């Protein structure tokens, strides 16, 4: 007798054989029909018990959430809704579940409630589908880079440089915070700390990835990054995963081509390989839409939206063009934007990004050549002396999903830009070395993994696409 998971039982031609399966009870109906799920697929397998031949005390323990072990014959199903079912010959309880206190009842729960029960929420259809898709996306990302000659590089998580300027950082220390060593005055003496200097959790692996691009050629990182911004929005996490490719001898146009090709590949991979979970989430979203007023409904289904991205070119627009569009837009003239755009140089807020993507262009947009002073110091200065070779990719419903740039490869220009914002050269001596020894044009970008998962699954809150979200005032589990 062989042990199978539910996916194998439902997809292989193994009828009329004795099988063994383990899983958790989703529902138990009429003292006869168990819907058993083991996470291998969205679907449950129906297990039919003959209640006359089963001990009553055992029957009582077949409750929602219980872990059970079943041995029986896999046969064609007489009932509707499934092709095969198991006629149970032997059933044992592996782990009981108290039906009165088990939080995941067979009914609709709110996402807020499920967030509080994040340790059990993957026992629901929605969260198991989301997390299987998250896993598949992660695989597709590695596959894309591996198939295209990139090396996977592990950037450090603890960093001694805080120069990236991408956001507030979390300090890493082994000092006794009740009793900090002081430097004469009231400044903390970090020379006494574990690393002999101040250290933080990284906000990005980019600067380190650049060193590897300038030796291995094409590399990418895929790891956790940390930002202590106090932004309690549906699109920000304090701990999130970022994919950062970095490529030597590639300019900004090559960077845009790479990002577009990469995003289309991973979405196509999901459309081809994860049809069941995707179809389920598509239907979920359509059902949710029906409860909303017409104006707030999605104009496309989830699958249509993904196909739209894979089948159409992203619109490439310079910052300057975007500002003109925004300045002349209805919401700007009617003062509907919270931040009115009246001058070149203004930073774009998510309301502006979403207007461009959702209302004006109605497709993914790559904005490039931003004003130097609203972007990071390492971005390559254009000949106009006021814009840099930055690019952001904006997606419908998400806003910014990718941020990247061609890097400043000229030593003197980079030093000037660092001096202008008081980054000491000693702190980034190794980064400057890349510009001293064999410098070359190079570029890269960062994709926020959870924002990609949101887009792919149609989930509207970033807390629902990462197993255990870290946000202000919340680090449960
Ligand atoms: O635009 P960002 O800050 O870019 C960088 O960190 C560069 N060093 C990347 C590079 O060029 N290698 O962040 C990149 C992406 C954003 O576009 C967004 O998708 C995501 O990371 N992101 C967040 N996702 C979730 N929560 C947050 N707090 C995020 N901050 C950025
Ligand atoms: Mg950005």
How far, in Å, is the centroid of ligand 2 from the Cα of 368?
12
3 Cβ contact partners less than 8 Å away, ≥ 6 residues apart: 19, 20, 21, 22
3-class SS at 426? helix
| Ligand 1 pocket, residue 391 CB under 6 Å | no
> Dmax over Cα atoms in the chain, in whole Å?
86
475 Cβ contact partners less than 8 Å away, ≥ 6 residues apart: none
How far, in Å, is the centroid of ligand 2 from the Cα of 379?
12
Nearest ligand 1 atom, CA 452: 19
> Strand 158-159's sheet: what is its strand order?
158-159, 199-201, 171-172
Kindly identify the ligand whose nearest atom is closest to the C-alpha of 204.
1
| Ligand 1 pocket, residue 402 CB under 6 Å | yes
> Strand 151-152's sheet: what is its strand order?
151-152, 218-226, 239-248, 442-448, 399-406, 387-395, 365-371, 315-318
User: What does the pLDDT average to over 346-370?
Assistant: 95
pTM score, two decimals?
Answer: 0.97
The answer, yes or no, to whether residue 166 has pLDDT greater than 70, is: no
Protein residue with its CA nearest to atom 24 in ligand 1: 448
pLDDT in tens, 220-258: 999 999 999 888 899 999 999 999 999 999 999 999 999
The answer, yes or no, to whether residue 426 has pLDDT greater than 90, is: yes
How far, in Å, is the centroid of ligand 1 from the Cα of 276?
30
| Ligand 1 pocket, residue 227 CB under 6 Å | yes
| Ligand 1 pocket, residue 206 CB under 6 Å | yes
Kindly identify the ligand whose nearest atom is closest to the C-alpha of 393.
1
The answer, yes or no, to whether residue 14 has pLDDT greater than 80, is: no
| Ligand 1 pocket, residue 305 CB under 6 Å | no
The answer, yes or no, to whether residue 28 has pLDDT greater than 80, is: yes
- Do β-strands 84-95 and 67-76 pair in parallel, antiparallel, or remain unpaired? antiparallel
Percentage of the residues of the chain whose pLDDT score is greater than 90: 90
| Ligand 1 pocket, residue 223 CB under 6 Å | no
Nearest ligand 1 atom, CA 207: 8
pLDDT in tens, 363-400: 999 999 999 999 999 999 999 999 999 999 999 999 99
Q: How far is it, in rounded angstroms, from Cα 401 to Cα 341?
A: 22
pLDDT in tens, 82-123: 889 999 999 999 999 999 999 999 899 999 999 999 999 999
Which pLDDT score is estimated for 336?
95
- β-bridge partners, 381: 388
Protein residue with its CA nearest to atom 2 in ligand 1: 403
DSSP 110: -
How far, in Å, is the centroid of ligand 2 from the Cα of 174?
31
* CA distance from start to end of the chain: 39
Nearest ligand 1 atom, CA 231: 28
Nearest ligand 1 atom, CA 237: 26
Q: How does the average pLDDT of the chain come out, rounded? A: 95
Which pLDDT score is estimated for 335?
95
CA-based torsion, 375, 380, 382, 386: positive or negative: positive
Which pLDDT score is estimated for 167?
66
User: What does the pLDDT average to over 423-443?
Assistant: 96
Q: How far is it, in rounded angstroms, from Cα 337 to Cα 354?
A: 11
| Ligand 1 pocket, residue 409 CB under 6 Å | no
Protein residue with its CA nearest to atom 7 in ligand 1: 446
How far, in Å, is the centroid of ligand 1 from the Cα of 222?
12
Kindly identify the ligand whose nearest atom is closest to the C-alpha of 451.
1
How far, in Å, is the centroid of ligand 2 from the Cα of 296?
27
Kindly identify the ligand whose nearest atom is closest to the C-alpha of 236.
1
The three-point CA angle 256-258-262 to 5° equals: 120
pLDDT in tens, 121-143: 999 999 999 999 999 999 999 99
| Ligand 1 pocket, residue 403 CB under 6 Å | yes
Asked if residue 319 lies in contact with residue 367, where contact means CB atoms within 8 angstroms, the answer is yes
Which pLDDT score is estimated for 381?
98
The answer, yes or no, to whether residue 165 has pLDDT greater than 70, is: no
| Ligand 1 pocket, residue 353 CB under 6 Å | no
Nearest ligand 1 atom, CA 229: 28
The answer, yes or no, to whether residue 298 has pLDDT greater than 70, is: yes
Going by C-alpha positions, the residue among 70, 76, 83 that lies closest to residue 28 is 70
How far, in Å, is the centroid of ligand 2 from the Cα of 402?
7
How far, in Å, is the centroid of ligand 2 from the Cα of 396?
16
25 Cβ contact partners less than 8 Å away, ≥ 6 residues apart: 34, 35, 36, 62, 63, 64, 65, 66, 68, 97
| Ligand 1 pocket, residue 242 CB under 6 Å | yes
Which pLDDT score is estimated for 315?
98
Protein residue with its CA nearest to atom 5 in ligand 1: 446
């Amino acid at each position: 007798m062989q042990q199978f998971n539910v996916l194998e039982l439902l997809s292989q031609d193994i009828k009329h054989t004795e099988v063994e399966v383990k899983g958790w009870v989703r529902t138990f109906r009429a003292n006869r029909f168990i819907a058993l799920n083991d996470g291998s697929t969205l679907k449950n397998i129906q297990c039919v018990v003959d209640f006359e031949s089963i001990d009553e005390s055992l029957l009582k323990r077949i409750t929602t959430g219980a872990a059970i072990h079943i041995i029986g014959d896999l046969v064609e199903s007489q009932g509707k809704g499934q092709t095969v079912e198991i006629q149970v010959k032997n059933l044992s309880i592996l782990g009981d579940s108290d039906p009165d206190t088990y939080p995941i009842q067979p009914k609709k729960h709110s996402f807020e409630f499920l967030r509080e029960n994040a340790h059990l929420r993957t026992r629901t259809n929605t969260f198991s589908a989301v997390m299987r898709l998250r896993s598949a996306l992660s695989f597709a990302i590695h596959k894309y880079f591996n198939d295209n000659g990139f090396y996977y590089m592990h950037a450090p998580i603890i960093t001694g440089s805080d120069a990236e300027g991408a956001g507030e950082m979390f300090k890493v220390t082994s000092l006794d915070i009740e009793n900090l060593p002081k430097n004469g005055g009231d400044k903390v003496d970090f020379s006494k700390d574990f690393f002999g200097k101040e250290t933080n959790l990284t906000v990005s692996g980019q600067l380190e990835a650049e060193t590897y691009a300038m030796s291995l050629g094409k590399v990418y990182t895929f790891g956790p990054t940390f930002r202590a911004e106090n932004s309690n929005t549906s699109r920000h996490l304090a701990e999130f995963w970022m994919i950062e490719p970095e490529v030597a001898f590639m300019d900004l146009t090559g960077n845009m081509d790479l990002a577009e090709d990469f995003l289309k590949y991973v979405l196509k991979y999901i459309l081809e390989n994860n049809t069941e979970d995707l179809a389920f989430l598509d239907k979920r979203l359509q059902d949710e839409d029906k409860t909303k007023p017409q104006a707030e409904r999605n104009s496309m289904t989830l699958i249509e939206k993904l196909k739209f991205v894979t089948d159409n070119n992203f619109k490439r627009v310079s910052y300057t063009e975007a500002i003109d569009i925004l300045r002349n837009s209805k919401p700007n003239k009617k003062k509907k934007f919270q931040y009115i755009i009246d001058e070149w140089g203004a930073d774009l807020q998510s309301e502006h990004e979403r207007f461009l993507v959702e209302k004006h262009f109605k497709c993914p947009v790559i904005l490039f050549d931003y004003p130097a002073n609203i972007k990071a110091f390492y971005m390559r200065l254009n000949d106009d002396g006021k814009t840099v070779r930055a690019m952001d990719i904006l997606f419908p419903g998400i806003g910014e999903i990718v941020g990247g740039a061609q890097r400043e490869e000229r030593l003197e220009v980079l030093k000037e830009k660092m001096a202008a914002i008081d980054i000491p050269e000693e702190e980034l001596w190794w980064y400057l070395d890349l510009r001293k020894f064999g410098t070359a044009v190079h570029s890269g970008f960062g994709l926020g993994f959870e924002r990609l998962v949101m887009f792919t699954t149609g989930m509207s809150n970033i807390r629902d696409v990462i197993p255990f979200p870290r946000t202000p005032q919340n680090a449960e589990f």
